[in-house]
């Protein structure tokens, strides 16, 4: 008890010094950072943490509200301290804990890069679970604070969109839509039809599902039209990646960025939608030049029958999906709007809920939760700060350099882990809004570089492998120019439209 009183007295004597730190914040905007990173407040927080760790006492830091010279903002010391209390400074961790933190972080990201742990059957979701549990078990993340590091709005949005898209898939919407579009085009027009169908559907729905349903129909259509399927399968993969850059709901990393940045659905589409459109045209031109410029198309009389469709089953999911998209455009928070839509679709007489649950990628959800905790532990141990200090020497605040680094890191460790790691860097940029958009653009478009650059590419390759083998060079031959050209166009557009 005496030790606690001594710590309490030490904290009270710091109030005057903390007040001086508040005075330095007058007339500035980033109050939380100014206060909690001041020497006096750092010391205060460290003393409080030591007291809490020693005998698990409850600590109250009494705050006060201070107005700036302009009178437009106020600072709440208590709220600033509360946010900062969730992050332990590296000095609060022992050397053994720091070594464990580095080992967990590096081992996890090694699996994210390779897809599995050497010699063991540990995939990315498994590595995320193991890494998250290890961060808590080694006390790098205090158990009671672990939930604070999970961004539940991202998890809810991802889960709800899986339910909505899964419902549309089960009632045959994507299959019927794809064949309805593709059957009206001649053989020479099939390539742009595949590219733009994949791209537009991926813009509003998760691109992984679009690839999953497009590949079987592309194989069927090319077989009936007697066309080589490789170029059209590449069109599905590259087109879905490019189209998904347009909106927050296009792919998982965009959902993550939308949640952390606070950028609205409309604003996201306004800035990145034109990049998707220009990218799809570039994709069409490059695929045609590389694969079809010397191809002569002969007319085929065989028609493509539409799959059977029960309008009674499609009506409700389609209305709900349209309502959700309209809600996005009206400014309703995406997680809330998507959750409402998913809940409405679960009220049904015709569709078995178990079928819908099977359409959810539970591994991806687990991967996200684990990744939040791994990166949170890395932040607590100071690993992220050291990486960002190292990156500052590369002049990452230049968006051209930032774009290249994002593209390379996304292909090294996959786009979602790359975005999770770089999210701490973006708020420190001179223009965070533009940096968030650049991160979304670069992490998505860079997925076209190699087969392992995005999950959508892997889905195309794995789904088609029984009929068509797509090798590394088959993909890289088109992936490299598509990636470079779309990144250049995207960077120029964002630099102009900002």
* pLDDT exceeds 50 at position 1: no
Is residue 202 left, alpha or beta, with left meaning phi > 0 and alpha meaning psi from -120 to 50? alpha
Alpha carbons 34 and 271: distance in angstroms, whole number: 31
Of 311 and 195, the structure prediction assigns the larger pLDDT to 195
What are the residue ranges of helices labelled H in 414-454?
415-422, 432-445
Confidence of residue 43 (pLDDT cuts 50, 70, 90): low
Using 50, 70 and 90 to split pLDDT, how confident is the model at 114? Answer: confident
| The pLDDT value given to residue 86 | 46
Q: How many helices (H) and strands (E) does the chain have?
A: 24, 2
Between the alpha carbon of residue 457 and those of residues 279, 286, 338, 417, 454, the distances in Å are 17, 18, 26, 17, 6
Note the pLDDT of residue 285: 95
Task: Determine the pLDDT at residue 385.
Answer: 79
Nearest to 131 by CA among 406, 419, 447, 381: 381
pLDDT of residue 112: 84
Residue 49 has pLDDT above 80, yes or no: no
Task: Give CA–CA dist 351/171, Å, rounded.
Answer: 9
Q: Is the pLDDT of residue 486 over 60?
A: yes
If one compares 244 and 51, the residue with the highest pLDDT of the two is: 244
Mean pLDDT of 456-465: 88
Q: What is the pLDDT, as a whole number, of residue 315? A: 83
Task: Judge contact between 102 and 59, C-beta under 8 A.
Answer: no
pLDDT of residue 148: 86
Residue 204 to residue 328: CA distance in whole angstroms: 10
Look up the pTM and report it.
0.74
Both structure tokens of 169: 């898939």
**Given this model, what pLDDT does residue 295 score?**
66
| Confidence band of 32 (pLDDT split at 50, 70, 90) | very low
292 has a pLDDT exceeding 80: yes
Give the 3-state secondary structure of residue 246.
coil
* Average pLDDT taken over every residue of the chain: 79
- Contact of 442 with 407, CB cutoff 8 Å: yes
Q: Where are the domains of the chain?
A: 2-85, 92-139, 172-309+394-497
For residue 171, the Cα-to-chain-centroid distance in whole angstroms is 27
Q: Distance between CA atoms of 127 and 404, rounded to whole angstroms?
A: 27
Average pLDDT over residues 87-94: 52
Interval 400-427 mean pLDDT: 88
Q: Which residue has the higher pLDDT, 98 or 305?
A: 98
Q: Which of 248, 265, 259, 153 is nearest to 205 (CA)?
A: 248
Q: Which phi and psi (to 5°) does residue 493 adopt?
A: -65, -50
Residue with tokens 């779309």: 486
For residues 363 and 46, give the distance between their C-alpha atoms in angstroms, rounded to a whole number.
38
The residue-averaged pLDDT of 181-186 equals 66
Q: Can you read off the two tokens belonging to residue 256?
A: 């993550």
Which residues pair with residue 74 across a beta bridge? Answer: 67
> Rounded to an integer, what is the distance from CA 214 to the centroid of its chain?
23
Give tens-digit pLDDT for 191-242: 998 999 999 989 988 888 888 888 888 888 888 778 889 999 999 999 999 9
Say which residue, 63 or 67, is predicted with more confidence: 63
Q: Which long-range contacts (CB under 8 A, 24 or more apart) does 267-272 make?
A: 268/437, 268/440, 271/437, 271/494, 271/497, 272/245, 272/246, 272/247, 272/437, 272/440, 272/441, 272/490
The count of other CB atoms within 10 Å of the CB of residue 5 is 9
Q: What percent of the chain is predicted at pLDDT more than 70?
A: 75
Q: Specify the higher pLDDT residue, 493 or 145.
A: 493
Question: Mean per-residue pLDDT for 275-296?
Answer: 90
Please tell me the least confidently modeled range out of 20-34, 134-148, 189-203, 427-441: 20-34
Percent helix, strand, coil in the chain (nearest 5)? Answer: 75, 0, 25
What is the pLDDT, as a whole number, of residue 406? 92
Query: What local confidence, expressed as pLDDT, does residue 300 receive?
Result: 55
The winner for highest mean pLDDT among 83-92, 176-185, 387-396, 489-498 is: 489-498
Instruction: Give the model's pLDDT for residue 242.
Output: 97
């Amino acid at each position: 008890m005496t030790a606690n009183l001594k710590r309490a007295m030490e904290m009270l004597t710091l109030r005057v010094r903390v007040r001086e730190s508040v005075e330095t914040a007058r007339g500035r905007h980033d109050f939380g950072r100014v206060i909690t990173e001041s020497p006096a407040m750092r010391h205060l927080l460290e003393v409080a943490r030591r007291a809490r760790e020693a005998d698990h006492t409850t600590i109250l830091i009494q705050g006060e509200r201070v107005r700036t010279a302009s009178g437009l903002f106020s600072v709440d010391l208590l709220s600033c301290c509360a946010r900062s209390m969730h992050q332990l400074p590296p000095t609060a961790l022992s050397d053994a804990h720091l070594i464990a933190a580095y080992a967990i972080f590096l081992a996890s990201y090694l699996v994210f890069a390779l897809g599995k742990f050497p010699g063991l059957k540990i995939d990315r979701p498994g590595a995320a679970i193991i890494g998250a549990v290890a961060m808590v078990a080694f006390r790098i993340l205090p158990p009671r604070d672990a939930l604070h590091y999970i961004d539940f709005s991202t998890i809810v949005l991802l889960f709800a969109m899986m339910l909505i898209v899964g419902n549309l898939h089960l009632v045959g919407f994507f299959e019927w839509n794809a064949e309805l579009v593709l059957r009206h085009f001649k053989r020479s027009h099939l390539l742009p039809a595949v590219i733009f169908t994949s791209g537009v559907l991926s813009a509003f729905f998760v691109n992984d599902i679009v690839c999953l349903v497009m590949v079987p129909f592309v194989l069927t259509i090319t077989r009936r039209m007697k066309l080589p399927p490789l170029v059209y399968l590449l069109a599905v993969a590259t087109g879905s990646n490019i189209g998904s850059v347009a909106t927050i709901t296009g792919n998982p990393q965009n959902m993550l960025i939308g949640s952390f940045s606070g950028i609205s659905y409309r604003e996201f589409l306004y800035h990145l939608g034109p990049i998707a459109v220009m990218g799809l045209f570039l994709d069409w031109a490059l695929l045609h030049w590389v694969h079809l410029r010397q191809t002569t198309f002969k007319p085929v009389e065989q028609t493509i029958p539409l799959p059977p469709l029960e309008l009674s089953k499609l009506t409700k999911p389609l209305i709900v999906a349209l309502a959700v998209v309209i809600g996005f455009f009206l400014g309703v928070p995406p997680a809330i709007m998507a959750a409402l839509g998913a809940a409405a679709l679960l009220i049904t007489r015709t569709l078995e809920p178990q079928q819908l649950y099977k359409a959810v990628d539970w591994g991806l959800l687990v991967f996200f939760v684990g990744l939040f905790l791994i990166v949170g532990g890395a932040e607590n141990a100071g690993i992220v700060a050291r990486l960002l200090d190292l990156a500052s020497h590369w002049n990452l605040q230049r968006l051209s350099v930032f774009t290249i680094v994002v593209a390379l890191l996304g292909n090294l460790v996959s786009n979602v882990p790359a975005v999770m790691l770089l999210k701490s860097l973006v708020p420190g940029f001179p223009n965070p809004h533009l940096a968030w958009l650049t991160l979304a653009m670069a992490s998505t478009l860079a997925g076209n570089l190699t087969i392992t650059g995005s999950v959508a590419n892997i889905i195309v390759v794995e789904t088609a492998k029984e009929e068509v083998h797509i090798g590394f060079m088959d993909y890289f031959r088109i992936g490299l120019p598509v990636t470079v050209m779309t990144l250049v166009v995207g960077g120029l557009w964002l630099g102009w439209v900002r």
